[in-house]
Amino acid sequence: MKIRVLLGAALKGCATAIIVCAIVPATAFPQALTSLASLRVGYNTRKNTARPQGELKAQIDALDQQIADATRLGRTGELRRLFAKGNVLLAGRQWTDEIDYANSLVVRTDRVVADSSKPYPVRLEQIYSPSIALERTLTAHVLLRARPAPPVPGSSTPPQPGDVVKDLGTFDGVARDLRESPFPFELDVQDVADGGYQLSVEVSNDSAPLGASTLNIALRRGLDDLAARLEAEGRNAPEALRAEILFPVDRMRNVNRGRLELRTFDPQKDFASADAVAAAVKAKQDPFATRTGDFKRHYLLDAAREMLPYRMYVPTTYNASRSFPLIVALHGLGGTEDSFFEGGLYGGVLPKLAEQHGYIVAAPLGYRVDGSYGWGLGSPPADPVTRRVQDFSEQDVMQVLQHVRQQYKIDGNRIYLMGHSMGAIGTWKIAPKYPDVWAAIAPISGSGAPATLDRIRTVPEIVVHGDNDPTVPVNGSRTMVAKLKELGVDYKYIEVPGGLHSDVVAPNIGAILDFFDAHRKTSRVSQ
């Protein structure tokens, strides 16, 4: 292999061994890719929106059969290829060998969150074998870029690449089959400022570009020493604050092991928050004792042996002299505990209205971005991994509820559950399983099992759905509402003409809180 551009100080002094220094193999965990559930929902949404006809419909029907076969056989790499192909076809473009190759590429490393003072090992792999015919080895160009701006909700325009922060080198000798022979790099990032970046590996055949793969990473000088210090301080902290100090260390390890996507973790903020709590503990203070507004808390989910975040809003009027109502908010597929608090799909409306109405809000992660909040009253999934994730997802919701009730004076007659999409489906799973907890519930753009509604027939419901929803068809809510009417449940149904899957959320949160204001728990008998 010939290196056309060297990687700076990390390689100085290697002399004739320079090639070995640059490509020394590194053990790399598979990074957490976008979940298959999210890819499936995205593909189905595009299909429902495009409504293919004629030859395109025949192509999509054949593709759907291949997707069903790959799902049955557990061929996850092939599923990623098929979903990508379907999205390309539905966008009106041809699926070419070059697009096939580009979608096969993946960048992997054992340290997505890394100490920049040390050499950074990365490797280029493939998640499936593409159909392209390659007659010689390839070339890779590695760039460190600023992360691109997040896509505008509802926009079909792909995000533009961020500015180049550092050119990390050009490498010859990249294998044609990266499943058999992953290509390792060892990169010099010592002069890179702390922060989040996008690592981009562009592959070309002679001078013709074939495709690129990117990986979001976070770099911080002295990270390993900081993590070791927080671990030591966390072990000696009071139990109620231990997870607040240890969370970023635990989350970093799970991200680096490929269990979680980096976007579920903000190293800069989370390490700074943990450091602040550690300083407060040293001063024998509880930094959350009188805190109001928008902030995060953390706890140890014992069954999962993992520290989990949840986001809180405590109104500025809160004091322990009286009880306050509580809303538990469940995000949609691919979302996090931050979803209801920030811009984007939900517009950051909920915390603003919670302040006005005097509600405490708690938003759990649900263990994973695709956790599904359990299986409700139905049969558990046959797959043990899926069953475990869904079990922990439900436990996370109920543990967060328990923690909040321990930390704040909550009105037990005014605890509400709401959710969007997967969170709405989760609302209709969790409410019947714990029917005596909720004063009212609010599923938005969801669906459920009508037979379970008998257990919550005394729980008022406000249901919201758009009649043009391509992701979760409106019949999911219509069927549930018909059963609510049959059971004589106190309900309100808002069906938004022309409403899509997510644009109905923010405009209707005010109506949801008005509904909650009007309903308190009454004595009930569970069935």
Residue spans of the domains in the chain: they are 1-221, 222-287, 291-517
> Which residues, 6+ apart, have CB-to-CB distance to 310 below 8 Å?
296, 297, 298, 299, 337, 362, 363, 364, 365, 396, 400, 403
pLDDT for the residue numbered 152? 65
> Which residues, 6+ apart, have CB-to-CB distance to 144 below 8 Å?
164, 165, 166, 167, 168, 189, 192, 197, 198, 199, 200
Please spell the DSSP secondary structure of 387-414, one letter per residue.
HHHHHHHHHHHHHHHHHHHHHS-EEEEE
**What is this structure's pTM?**
0.88
pLDDT for the residue numbered 155? 62
**The amino acid at 163:** D
**The amino acid at 284:** K
From CA 191, how far away is CA 198, in angstroms rounded?
16
Homologous superfamily (CATH) for 291-517: Alpha/Beta hydrolase fold, catalytic domain (3.40.50.1820)
Residues in the chain: 527
Exposure on the CB side of residue 1, measured as CA atoms within 13 A: 24
Indicate whether 317 pLDDT > 50.
yes
pLDDT for the residue numbered 374? 97
Kindly list the distances between the CA atom of residue 355 and the CA atoms of 200, 224, 293, 325, 350, in Å, as whole numbers in the listed order: 42, 39, 8, 12, 9
pLDDT for the residue numbered 19? 23
Backbone angles phi, psi at 105, to 5 degrees: -80, 145
From CA 391, how far away is CA 386, in angstroms rounded?
8
Backbone angles phi, psi at 173, to 5 degrees: 85, 20
pLDDT for the residue numbered 33? 84
Q: What is the pLDDT of residues 220-264, one digit of tens each?
A: 999 999 999 999 999 999 999 999 999 999 999 999 999 999 999
Q: Edge-to-edge strand order for the sheet containing 105-108?
A: 105-108, 120-126, 183-187
For the domain 1-221, what is the CATH code? 2.60.40.1930
Indicate whether 11 pLDDT > 80.
no
pLDDT for the residue numbered 6? 29
**The amino acid at 416:** Y
Backbone angles phi, psi at 138, to 5 degrees: -115, 180
Q: Say what percent of the chain tops pLDDT 90.
A: 88
Of 296, 329, 317, give the one whose Cα is nearest residue 513. Answer: 329
pLDDT for the residue numbered 206? 85
When pLDDT is averaged across residues 414-420 and rounded to a whole number, the result is: 98
pLDDT for the residue numbered 7? 30
From CA 207, how far away is CA 464, in angstroms rounded?
53
3-state secondary structure 254-318: HHHCCCCCHHHCCHHHHHHHHHHHHHHHHCCCCCCCCCCEEEEEEEEECCCCEEEEEEEEECCCC
Helix (H, G, I), strand (E, B) or coil at 340: coil
- What the block records as the tokens of 473 is 């068809």
Contact 417, 441 (CB under 8 A): yes
Using a 10 angstrom Cβ sphere, with 0-12 exposed, 13-18 middle and 19 or more buried, the burial of residue 13 is exposed
pLDDT for the residue numbered 149? 81
Q: Say what percent of the chain tops pLDDT 70.
A: 92
Indicate whether 21 pLDDT > 80.
no
Task: Place 24 in a pLDDT band, splitting at 50, 70 and 90.
Answer: very low
Which residues share a beta bridge with 142?
A: 169, 201
